[in-house]
Chain A
Amino acid sequence: MLSGQFLLHMGATMLRVATGFLAAFLVSIGLGIFMGVNRTAERFFEPEIVVGLTVPSLAWSVIALMWFGISELAPIFTIFVVLQPVITVNIWQGTKALDHEVIEMARAFRAGRPMVIRDVVIPQLVPYLLAATRFGLSLAWKVTVIAELLGLSNGIGYMIHYSFGIFSMLDVFAWTIAFTLVMLALEYGFLKPLETRITGWRRAVAL
């Protein structure tokens, strides 16, 4: 099972996750900030967010497979629609929580808009972006596996389904565990160190 076959299926799943996640992340950053600074946008998009958060990802998977057929577009679309409201909520809240006093300070010292965004606004959004990344990625894995199980011919989800078909408990476990290990490696090898690096200032202890 390991070696060639594993890499093939893992690669297929990872590619779907990465594409869907990235698309959702980029759209959500724009939308979340827009909703955070504009009352009208907030009121307009809020129902979309609530509906998006409510519809089960299984339903989206089925709908996507019926719309797009058995293609790469189906799982990527599913990931996008499931993740987008979740990530948008995070960025939206982060934008609303911006500390306007330090922004005013920056303006008093004549900082230009690019400097205010780079040095004052983005650092305040980073914790929210990180939380969204983490939450979004974990959700993306689950969603992809469902889509693969339902109607695709490769990927981890497909292999779990296949193992179930031949009723091999060993294979089901093997695929699940291998997949979990990759996720753990991503979390502890990449996300966690990144977070420690860029939010180190928060752990400082008062004298």
Chain B
Amino acid sequence: MILQIALRGIHKEFPRENGGSLAVLRDVTLTVGAGEFCCVVGSSGCGKSTILNIVAGLTPPDSGEVLVDNARADSTQMRIGYVFQKPRLLNWKSVRENVAFALRASGVSASEARARARHYLDLVGLSQFEHEFPLSLSGGMQQRVAIARALAIEPDLLLMDEPFSHLDELTARVLRSELLRIWQQARKPVMFVTHNALEAVYLADQVLILSGRPATIQKSLRVSLPRDREMEDPRLALLQREILDGLGISGANGSLPR
């Protein structure tokens, strides 16, 4: 049940159209402890999503390894809940069928999938929309469906790739606190990628700061403030400052790092 995820010396390059290659990740090493909420912060396009895709087994690393409980991971053996930046729903299936799809994919029987889909939709407050098609829902509601889908399979590990970045701040706030509430019940490790430093310190136990491309872990930060944090807590603001400094974004007139 205790599940610790570790990445050791991950390198990744992507081929380019012109024949060369683009180094995206360089020697990425990190550990996410059992039941830990880990945020990965970096500027846009630095390879944050690639880290998640490697953990999920969608992208093979060029070198390095993913370890689960100190053994080499067979990613097909892990139950992974993935929430993407965009909802990525199957628009031709009803809300409930979308959640049930992930359950069916992980081998749950049709009748159990239906019941569990309903339960998790209830958890994200969408039970009355279960028969609607995704396109009839707002962006925030669609993202909730995506979250319900990831939670419903009762994952060993939850991967979240800037899940709230396309939402308005009010909706994002509600969903963040709901996410924490659900996570505190389930206590499964979470890897949450974001470029929002305040979001990171609000959510995380551990914040990893990535350098620009090729990305490597530049700094790791522990956030030991007790839960039920307030976004406006001045201590969070201080930590946020520390992260922004780590990213090389300084002061009020700061400029983007190269």
Q: Which residues of A contact B (CB under 8 A)?
A: 101-102, 104-112, 115, 119-120, 123-124, 126, 199-202, 204-207
Partner of B135, one of A110, A120, A202: A202
Q: Which residues of A contact B101 (CB under 8 A)?
A: 106, 109, 111, 119
| Closest Cβ–Cβ distance, residue B84 to chain A (whole Å) | 7
| A206 and B58 form a contact (CB under 8 A) | no
Q: Which residues of B contact A (CB under 8 A)?
A: 56, 58, 76, 80, 82, 84, 86, 88-93, 101-102, 104-106, 132-138, 141, 149, 153
Q: Which residues of A contact B80 (CB under 8 A)?
A: 108-110
Q: A101-B84, A101-B88 are in contact. Are A106 and B105 (CB under 8 A)?
A: yes
| A110 and B90 form a contact (CB under 8 A) | no
How would you classify the secondary structure of chain A's contact residues: helix, strand, loop or mixed? helix
22 contacts between A and B (CB under 8 A): A102-B88, A102-B89, A102-B90, A108-B80, A109-B80, A109-B101, A109-B153, A110-B76, A110-B105, A111-B105, A119-B93, A124-B92, A126-B92, A200-B133, A201-B135, A202-B91, A202-B135, A204-B134, A204-B136, A206-B136, A207-B136, A207-B141
| B82 and A109 form a contact (CB under 8 A) | yes
| B92 and A201 form a contact (CB under 8 A) | yes
CA A201 – CA B135 in complex, angstroms? 7
| B88 and A119 form a contact (CB under 8 A) | no
| Closest Cβ–Cβ distance, residue A115 to chain B (whole Å) | 6
| B136 and A105 form a contact (CB under 8 A) | no
Q: Which residues of B contact A119 (CB under 8 A)?
A: 90, 93, 101
| Interface contacts beyond A109-B105, A110-B105, A126-B92: sample of 5 additional A-B pairs, CB < 8 Å, sorted by A | A101-B88, A109-B149, A201-B92, A202-B91, A205-B136
